[in-house]
């Protein structure tokens, strides 16, 4: 599982090795780790049923479709991790396993407050960062991982501006309280109608 | 495994994934695995201003357990084939049970 990537070769079937060596001698093999090229497309100068790999229904190597391959491409990249409790973490992905348990380095927690939380004169949303250090996140708490476009990383999200951390924390707390009350009301009303809701008692943010 | 295989046929198509927290993310399906974790490229978030944390994100890995729906382009689904495959899978399962 260690060396899987979308851009890796699948292991050649027995009998294929010889042919590949020949190809290398003729300078026909692509450089290892080439980006983005599907590798089901090796030219087979002498196709032979016993030498060629079995026909593949798709032009994607099979190991591309594992959790490991998907996460490997994100390793050592700066990511935004959204957690089930609504937290947004920004950090560098250093390690992971098949359950999407994650280790993040240089983690910052970013808190957001939407416009109009503090009152009608707060026209812009606010955000602030809190340094958190190293995080080990249990996979079940992960909603999604997003690779951050480094070109856009330094810009504030549209409609938002950086604000004092204490202020944002305070407003976020208020907002959470309000949302909790709203959600409670909603769940109660739905409950009366006989609905059970997929996340009853646990709000996904 | 049927739906794992099915999603593999949709690789490189544009899909919209709706999460259990109501976020809808449209993007090109790049990969899927046995847990139906999904990787999307070139994402666009529907109702973007509501989700500022995704503004600088270009591709996402979504954990399968938090997906509510995947909206598919109807043109790229072969309904007859899918029906056939479903029945075959069901027959296989029934065969195993005996």
User: Which pLDDT does position A53 carry in this prediction?
Assistant: 52
Decide if A146 touches B, using CB distance below 8 A. Answer: yes
Distance separating alpha carbons of residues A45 and A15, to the nearest angstrom: 15
User: Which pLDDT does position A195 carry in this prediction?
Assistant: 84
pLDDT at B1 > cutoff 90: no
Digit-coded pLDDT (tens) for A136-179: 999 999 999 999 998 888 888 988 999 999 999 999 999 989 98
pLDDT at A132 > cutoff 80: yes
User: Which pLDDT does position B39 carry in this prediction?
Assistant: 95
User: Which pLDDT does position B19 carry in this prediction?
Assistant: 94
Mean pLDDT for chain A? 77
Which among A108, A120, A111, A205 is positioned nearest to A162, based on CA atoms? A111
The better pLDDT of the pair A115, A6 is held by A115
Residue A23 pLDDT class (50, 70, 90 cuts) = very low
- Mean pLDDT for A72-83 is 94
Digit-coded pLDDT (tens) for B12-57: 999 999 999 899 999 999 999 999 999 999 999 998 888 999 999 9
Distance separating alpha carbons of residues A113 and A107, to the nearest angstrom: 20
Interface test with B, best of A36, A61, A146 (most B CBs within 10 A): A146
User: Which pLDDT does position B10 carry in this prediction?
Assistant: 93
For residue A100, the chain B residues in CB contact (below 8 A) are 37, 61, 63
Distance separating alpha carbons of residues A132 and A134, to the nearest angstrom: 7
pLDDT at A199 > cutoff 90: no
- Mean pLDDT for B62-83 is 92
Distance separating alpha carbons of residues A145 and B43, to the nearest angstrom: 12
Name residues whose C-beta falls within 8 Å of residue A204's C-beta, 6 or more positions apart in sequence: A84, A86, A143, B19, B20, B21, B66
Decide if A108 touches B, using CB distance below 8 A. Answer: no
Distance separating alpha carbons of residues A8 and A162, to the nearest angstrom: 41
For residue A145, the chain B residues in CB contact (below 8 A) are 60-61
Complex ipTM value: 0.84
Decide if A142 touches B, using CB distance below 8 A. Answer: yes
User: Which pLDDT does position A120 carry in this prediction?
Assistant: 82
Would the pTM count as exceeding 0.80?
no
Decide if A201 touches B, using CB distance below 8 A. Answer: no
Residue B89 sits at φ, ψ, to 5 deg, of: -60, -45
Whether A60 sits inside 8 A of B59 (CB atoms) is no
Max CA distance (Å), chain A: 75
Residue A152, min C-alpha distance to chain B (Å): 5
User: Which pLDDT does position A154 carry in this prediction?
Assistant: 84
């Amino acid at each position: 599982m260690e060396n899987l990537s979308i851009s890796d070769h699948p292991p050649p079937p027995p009998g294929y090795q010889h042919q590949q060596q020949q190809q290398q001698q003729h300078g026909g093999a692509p450089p290892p780790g080439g980006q983005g090229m599907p590798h089901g497309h090796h030219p087979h100068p002498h196709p032979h049923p016993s030498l060629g790999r079995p026909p593949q229904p798709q032009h994607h190597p099979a190991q591309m479709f594992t959790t490991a391959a998907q996460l490997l491409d994100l390793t050592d990249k700066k990511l935004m991790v959204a957690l089930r409790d609504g937290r947004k973490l920004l950090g560098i992905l250093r390690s992971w396993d098949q359950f999407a348990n994650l280790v993040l380095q240089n983690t910052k927690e970013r808190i957001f407050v939407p416009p109009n939380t503090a009152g009608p004169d707060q026209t812009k949303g606010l955000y602030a960062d809190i340094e958190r250090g190293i995080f080990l996140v249990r996979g079940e708490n992960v909603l999604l991982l997003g690779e951050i476009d480094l070109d856009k990383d330094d810009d504030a999200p549209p409609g938002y501006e950086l604000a004092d951390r204490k202020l944002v924390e305070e407003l976020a707390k208020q907002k959470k309280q309000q949302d909790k009350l709203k959600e409670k009301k909603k769940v109660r009303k739905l409950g009366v109608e006989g609905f059970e809701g997929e996340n009853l008692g646990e709000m996904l943010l | 495994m049927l739906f794992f295989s099915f999603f593999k046929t949709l690789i490189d198509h544009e899909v919209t994934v709706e999460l259990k927290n109501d976020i809808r993310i449209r993007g090109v399906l790049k990969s899927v695995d046995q847990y139906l974790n999904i990787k999307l490229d070139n994402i666009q978030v529907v109702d973007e201003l509501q989700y500022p944390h995704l503004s600088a994100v270009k591709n996402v890995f979504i954990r399968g357990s938090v997906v509510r729906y995947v909206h598919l382009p109807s043109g790229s689904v072969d309904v007859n084939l899918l029906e056939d495959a479903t029945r075959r899978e069901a027959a296989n399962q029934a065969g195993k049970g005996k």
